Amino acid sequence: MNLGKPDLKWYIQQKAAQNVKERLYGYPTHSNQLPVQTQIKFSIPTEFVGCINDQDQKDVIKILKFTHLKWLAKNNSFALGYNKINNQKRQGHLSIFDLNDWKLFYKKFANDEAMVGILNQEYLNKVFGIGSNGGIYTIEKGQGGLEQRPVLETKILQITEGAFSPNHHKIAFSSQDKLIYLYDVQSESKETLMGHGKEVYTVQWNPENSLIISGADDETIRLWDASSRDEILNLKRHNLGVKKVRWNRNGTYFATTGKDKQTLLFDLRKMDMEIFKLHQNQVDTIFWHPKYQNIFLTGDANGSISCYNINAPNEPMYVQHVPETIVTDLALDSSGSMMSVIRAKQVQPDQKISMADQISIYKTA
């Protein structure tokens, strides 16, 4: 289906105006593990390889470590975001972990801003760290080995997440000030999308066209036309704040997660919606399988990772459950055969103080 610009807004609004089909799925128990046959069929990595621990834990209450993951296209390695709290300030780091020699390289952001996301350019095998105050950083090989350098200074404050446009000429940023910023990398100009009533947690650019999706603490999911900056659709389907929004690889489906423990799946062509109540706590992360476009994974604040097949929505299953941990991010490599997971341990549950102290790595069985 070609969602060209002239018909984009009309098409989606017409579909949404019809009776949206809503289907609700299950509360499976933790014992409902993903069968080995299904794991092999969809290359879900569940065999433990090893883990990365931060040894600098002199004061676990004041240190928040690993935050974001992104596998590199080559070299059997992944990028990760790292925050360290020093004098009540979050100091962001962009890091590379190489599985070949099991070494971690990291450098601190130049102006002590916090790490809030990772961008990648797969065709160049490059990754960029996003700073909370608009700095964009990358890691490159220099005379002394790997070096970190600033790439852009967007001067956009209170950023929560960022995403490249399909041609990588623009970056969409969500922010705490209720706005979405569209930053032109070449001209260094910026535009804003206004509509959300509270902090915008998450934003994603459709991989095939000018559509942008966003989710905020105002409980809404919004679709935008980046070309005209028009709001196309305002969906209030979550009962609490929307934590993550993610398109599948061809841009026909998007999944959302929220503080209400729900995972929602939308078919853009039909505006059908599936509702999954598989998790027992806030769902913080989504990752679409890089090889199978009908498979995606989610992770929650109860230590569970779940798997969904959009062709069999009535059969969502748990991949794994690690008690007393929080899944803050997960990512698969380009083949889907390796998975890295950031797990935080709840230090003081009553005060909701946690520390992301471990990255677990898995491979297909």
The least confident of 32-46, 184-198, 199-213 is 32-46
Query: Token pair for residue 7?
Result: 């018909």
**Ramachandran area for residue 219 (φ above 0: left; ψ -120 to 50: alpha; else beta):** left
Burial class (CB in 10 A: 0-12, 13-18, 19+), 314: exposed
Does residue 130 register a pLDDT over 70? yes
Please enumerate, as own/partner, the contacts of 215-219 that have beta carbons within 8 Å and a separation of 24 or more.
215/241, 215/242, 215/243, 215/244, 215/245, 215/256, 215/258, 216/174, 216/178, 216/241, 216/242, 217/241, 217/242, 219/258
The residues, ordered by sequence, that sit 6+ positions from 229 with a Cβ below 8 Å of its Cβ are 182, 191, 192, 193
Does residue 256 register a pLDDT over 90? yes
The pTM assigned to this predicted structure is 0.85
Length of the chain measured in residues = 365
pLDDT at 347: 58
300-346 pLDDT, tens digit each: 998 889 988 888 777 777 678 888 888 999 999 988 889 999 988 76
Closest CA to 81 of 114, 40, 103, 110: 114
37 phi, psi to nearest 5 deg: -60, -40
Question: pLDDT class for 40, splitting at 50, 70, 90?
Answer: very low
Residue 259 CA to residue 354 CA, distance in Å, equals 17
272-290 pLDDT, tens digit each: 888 888 888 999 999 999 9
61-109 pLDDT, tens digit each: 445 578 899 998 776 889 888 887 776 677 888 888 888 877 777 667 7
Give CA separation, 31 vs 147, 177, 181, in Å.
Answer: 46, 42, 43
